[in-house]
Structure 1
Amino acid sequence: MYVKHNGAGILIISLYVDDLLVNGNHTSLMEKFKLEMMEVFEMTDLGLMTLFLGMEIKQSEHEVFICQKKYAKEILKKFKLDECKEIRAPMNQKEKLNKDDGTAKIDQAYFRSMIGCLMYLSTTRPNILNVVSILSRFIHYASEMHLKASKRVIRYVKGTCDFGIKFTRSKEFELVGFSNSDWGGSIDDMRSTLGYCFTFGSGFFCWC
């Protein structure tokens, strides 16, 4: 990311491989940058952003909504769970996962692929990050129990494909953070799990 200040104006450029996002508080500043770039590089101006790295962006005068509905449906299809029964919660709170749960081992590559997909989905879905983070501990020794728990997350995703993050127009921009931790929650090594999230204005922008 690159940031340029020009008096009261600010220009923010986000770059990923060959994709550029141009943002700022002055239209003239953004237009000038785009014209200068097009004089040097072969580029196409796609206008108002609607899709970026699998994320769908809906913008209006008063709000911006970001989700991964299409990607969520691709996950369902990839793991042949598009016809599965939806579930209301991504995790069974009474179930404690551990390395040696007594169930049979599964295809580790398949499990890693599933967790990787869910990790990327959590880019706009902080509500699944905790359980996906827990499941990622078992990518080297995944069992039937771990697979069942990960499929539960996907079943939850099926019923919430259109969930995402909404940022509404706000005059107040206050940085607010929340954090919490369990106490020795891991059965295997008694390590604790920390979680945090930050808001700036109206929506979450950072979580773990």
Structure 2
Amino acid sequence: MIDKTLFIKKANSEIILVQIYVDDIIFGATKDILSEEFVAAMQGEFEMSMMGELSFFLGLQVKESKDGIFLCQSKYCKEILKKFEIESCKEASTPMPSSCYMDVDAAGKRVYQTKYRGLIGSLLYLTTSRLDLMFAVGLCSRYQVNPKESHFKVAKRILKYLKGTINVGLWYPSYSPIHLIGYSDSDFAGCKLDRKSTNDTCHLLGSSLISWHSKKKACVALSTAEAEYIATGSCCAQILWLKQKLADFGLKISKVPLLCDNTSVINLTKNQI
């Protein structure tokens, strides 16, 4: 009901899942006979080629084992480093320094806009599997209209961080408890230009990270508590969507704890969604 490109068929205790993306189809089943029937039905109607077991999809590398599934973009990382000639640079320990201050830098030297936008676009695609890059890349993306050397320097530091974390990715263990939990955070007046905050949320199903986002708010919060409330509201909305999504898979989750680091809204964790 939530995702119109997802199709599910259940046969007694067995299940087959089919996900469509443009002209690509990913499918999997708990029993081989279901997959074989699906392939035969599709090839009987359409001209299709089977690519075999999923190992690479839209820049994502998929490594399966009996213990779980590992998703990463290490090949894509290497291509970016080569493209922007950062292969032999010194590694950075974090995507950006904690004391980093970015503004429009009106007096700064301009850089080639196309190159800066190309770098930001490449980094944005990496956030598909790299939660640790979300905030830094989002901050740099705000200055694509008139980029300066100071902005490009911060963006290049993200590449230096990537050089030392090429093989970082997402791990989904085969056996994990089925419970959903959400986390939210906000930096009050984090942007020094317009005093707007940035909301950050993430959601885990058991020990598996399944959803995350980092977004600058459209309004100005008048207090830390208000900023946290808005972030918590975004987290709640995503949780409600995820509950409906999981219901399509047959997973009924009644209560979801929501955690926040601010004492003024900590009572929300007592009232589960």
1:51 paired residue number: 56
Of all paired residues, the percent bearing the same amino acid is: 34
Q: How does 1:62-101 map to 2 (within 5 A)?
A: 62-100=67-105
**Aligned-partner Cα distance in 2 for 1:46–1:90:** 36
Q: How does 1:1-208 map to 2 (within 5 A)?
A: 1-6=5-10, 7-100=12-105, 102-208=107-213
User: Is the 2:105–2:150 contact (alpha carbons within 8 Å) kept by the matching residues of 1?
Assistant: no
**Aligned-partner Cα distance in 1 for 2:206–2:31:** 20
In proportion to residue count, which structure has more helix?
2
Measured after TM superposition, the shift of residue 9 of structure 1 is: 3.5
Measured after TM superposition, the shift of residue 18 of structure 1 is: 2.1
User: Is the 2:113–2:144 contact (alpha carbons within 8 Å) kept by the matching residues of 1?
Assistant: yes
SS in structure 2 of the partner of residue 206 of structure 1: strand
Single out whichever of 129-138 and 35-44 deviates more from structure 2: 35-44
Q: Give the alignment's TM-score, normalised by structure 1.
A: 0.95
User: Is the 1:14–1:22 contact (alpha carbons within 8 Å) kept by the matching residues of 2?
Assistant: yes
Greater RCO, CA 8 A, separation 6+: 1
2:270 paired residue number: none
Measured after TM superposition, the shift of residue 100 of structure 1 is: 2.6
Measured after TM superposition, the shift of residue 168 of structure 1 is: 0.5
Alignment gaps of 5+ in structure 1: none
2:238 paired residue number: none
**Aligned-partner Cα distance in 2 for 1:69–1:19:** 22
**Aligned-partner Cα distance in 2 for 1:117–1:52:** 16
Cα deviation 1:161-180 (Å, max 9, x = unaligned): 11100011225211111110
**Aligned-partner Cα distance in 2 for 1:14–1:163:** 25
Measured after TM superposition, the shift of residue 3 of structure 1 is: 2.1
Cα deviation 1:82-113 (Å, max 9, x = unaligned): 12111111111101111136321211111111
User: Is the 1:199–1:205 contact (alpha carbons within 8 Å) kept by the matching residues of 2?
Assistant: yes
Single out whichever of 178-187 and 96-105 deviates more from structure 2: 96-105
SS in structure 1 of the partner of residue 118 of structure 2: helix
2:258 paired residue number: none
Cα deviation 1:142-195 (Å, max 9, x = unaligned): 110110000000000011111100011225211111110000000111000000
